[in-house]
Structure 1
């Protein structure tokens, strides 16, 4: 029997790994937002000297990875595994970056949930003794996502109020078996939840049920409630999805409204014309890496629950009238190893 399982979806790590280092790179629009001062690198333009937006995203991914490795005083050959993904078909950003980095690689696609998916798997490998150092990297880019999922930017298509703005950003996190806070202590793996939403411009509504379901499962599995956390953070529900998640959890008897933030709401100000907020793999990665971890190190937060939320759609499924499944994976980040 798996002795470290709690309930149906959660594991408590016997040897909690730490987040040894991290790095964040964002685009110009993200740098102009309320968290601009916290990011490591802010690009002057979305091409960053490359010929295509896809190449620019790949460069962001590579540079964030290298920065996190260097900050820990390591070399790429020291890293046991690289877990990573992005939003593009065949995760080309992660695949092409891994080709350059030369680290043993597991490519993941969890849409915008990929950050906590990668950190969950990396943390379990380290806790079980199969690795000492695991690098987790995710990225997204407004221009690459628009080209793939929606309309060419040149068309100037009108976006509805529920639409979100894909974050141009990359975040890298080096996990280690060092005894140095903060630690990853618990993992709650999400289930795919589908409430029948078909509007591709309403990602918040598609992902909120999955976020609420994972938070509820985490509380039930650990036999703890919202008061056990200083902060509960979701990845990119936006303003509409955040409110829907609060309402869904209230119906289950949990009120998280006084300690719940969403990265998609934090990264932009409402006067930046992003409609419902931010989205994308890079959204939770850069907000968590640049801002929330900084606040934990400063003693503002001691224990948080972080969920990256993903809408598991494709251009093909949308054109065929399929609904949009959602998923959310949760990890507990704690300054105390327990």
Structure 2
């Protein structure tokens, strides 16, 4: 068993050999704007629909990733990817063009970390040499699927988050140069009874805290063993709640806990409780965090992908929001 408790360890830690991140207009005005490979200035991105724009962003991002990795599609063994749209259509259409053997995944906004964890298991198990993983989201497509089209002018509650537009893509390899993924903790579905689809940070915070506690307990580590523990898209509300839940269990993470959705925007950008969406963790890890790891500014981080597992139907029927969080440990290149 390559596992201690609920946390998987990799005998030969897979390497993130290349990344690519394309971000939307709002993200391109935020604190991390200088780290992205490309910034898209229009929500339609020269297409006729927002959904096609998201698909175009992903397609370009995957091609840029292959170019940076100096790989052809036939040199990639498997593609693991997903998005927020029904039937993960963005990933499906991109897989159609790439023609790489495809495993579609859905973990809501935790999809990218889920894909990296599964990809590491496949590589460490000896089933692949190179794997591509990506996730995406788009502000306009997510709003009209999960809540209301923005054209309706629905009032924006202060705890509501801004869905990140963008795509983050990764090449995982059995060898090579780059940060290594050493551990993965697969989370449990946690539900604290939150029913408001605008309040996803509160819904996801318990799952994030549960996975962080499980990970640290399994490895007999403390928060001090990490330079950064960063969640995917809890936003300001969820980040505060997660910190309080961890403090109740005697884990002091105040100095090192951050959130990708919070990191993406300035306070004056009017994004509510900051960012959410599958692209939040994807573009932050593929840009800022990846560069900091490669430069040795971070020696070891834990990134926790968080996902609210609701659907438009369950929300309208008054169901609560089950949530999930998956965590991976990434260490600087040796």
TM-score interval, smaller chain: over 0.9
Given that residues 207 and 324 in structure 2 are in contact (C-alpha distance below 8 angstroms), is that contact kept between their aligned partners in structure 1?
Answer: yes
Write the distance in 2 (CA, Å) between the matches of 1:140 and 1:46: 12
Structure-1 separation of matches of 2:13 and 2:176: 9
Alpha-carbon displacement from aligned partner over 1:86-123 (angstroms, at most 9, x marks no partner): 00000000011111110000001100000100000001
Instruction: Give distance in 1, aligned partners of 2:53 and 2:73.
Output: 21
**SS of residue in 2 equivalent to 1:28:** coil
**Equivalent position of 1:144 in the other structure:** 141
Deviation per CA, 1:49-102: give whole Å up to 9, x if none: 111110110111111111111111100111000000000000000011111110
Structure 1's unaligned 5+ residue stretches are none
Deviations 1:123-180 (A, max 9, x none): 1111111000000010000000011111122111111000000000100000001142
Partner of 1:245: 242
Return the alpha-carbon distance in structure 2 between the equivalents of residues 277 and 45 of structure 1.
20
Q: Does 1:292 align with 2:289?
A: yes
Q: Distance in 2 between matches of 1:200 and 1:331?
A: 27
Q: Distance in 2 between matches of 1:37 and 1:20?
A: 20
Who is 1:210 aligned against? 207
Name the counterpart of 2:36. 39
Q: Specify the alignment match of 1:193 in structure 2.
A: 190
Name 2:112's counterpart in structure 1: 115
Once the two structures are superposed, residues 204-234 of structure 1 have per-residue CA deviations (whole angstroms, 9 ceiling, x without a partner) of: 0000000000000001111111011000010
C-alpha deviation, 1:336, in angstroms: 5.2
Tell me the equivalent position of 1:95.
Answer: 92
Judge conservation of contact 2:233–2:280 (CA < 8 Å) in 1: yes
TM-score using structure 1 length: 0.97
2:26 is paired with a residue whose SS is helix
RMSD over aligned CA atoms reads 0.8
Q: What's the CA shift string for 1:162-205, capped at 9, x where partnerless?
A: 00000001000000011423000000000000000001111000
* Aligned residue number for residue 3 of structure 2: 5
Q: Is the 8 A contact 2:136 2:166 kept in 1?
A: yes
Q: Which runs of 5+ in 2 are unaligned?
A: none
Point out 4+ residue stretches in structure 1 off by more than 6 angstroms: none
Match of 2:131 in 1: 134
Match of 2:158 among 151, 161, 175: 161
- 3-state DSSP of counterpart to 1:276: coil
Alpha-carbon distance in 1 for matches of 2:293, 2:58: 24
Distance of 1:230 and 1:130 partners within structure 2: 32
Distance in 1 separating the partners of 2:135 and 2:178: 22
CA distance in 1, matches of 2:176, 2:83: 30
Give the Cα separation in 2 of the matches to 1:302 and 1:181.
Answer: 12
Comparing 293-302 with 103-112, greater Cα deviation is found at 293-302
TM-score, normalising length: structure 2: 0.99
Question: Is residue 112–residue 279 contact of structure 1 (8 Å, CA) maintained in 2?
Answer: yes
Q: Distance in 2 between matches of 1:49 and 1:212?
A: 41
Contact 1:15 1:128 in 2 (8 A): no
Give the Cα separation in 2 of the matches to 1:152 and 1:237: 22
Match of 2:74 in 1: 77
- 2: distance between equivalents of 1:51 and 1:239? 34
CA distance in 2, matches of 1:267, 1:114: 18
Choose which of 12, 24, 29 in structure 1 pairs with 2:26.
Answer: 29
Counterparts of 1:65 and 1:179 in 2: how far apart (Å)? Answer: 19
**Residue pair 1:181, 1:334 contacting (<8 A) in 2 also:** no
Counterpart in 1 of 2:253?
A: 256
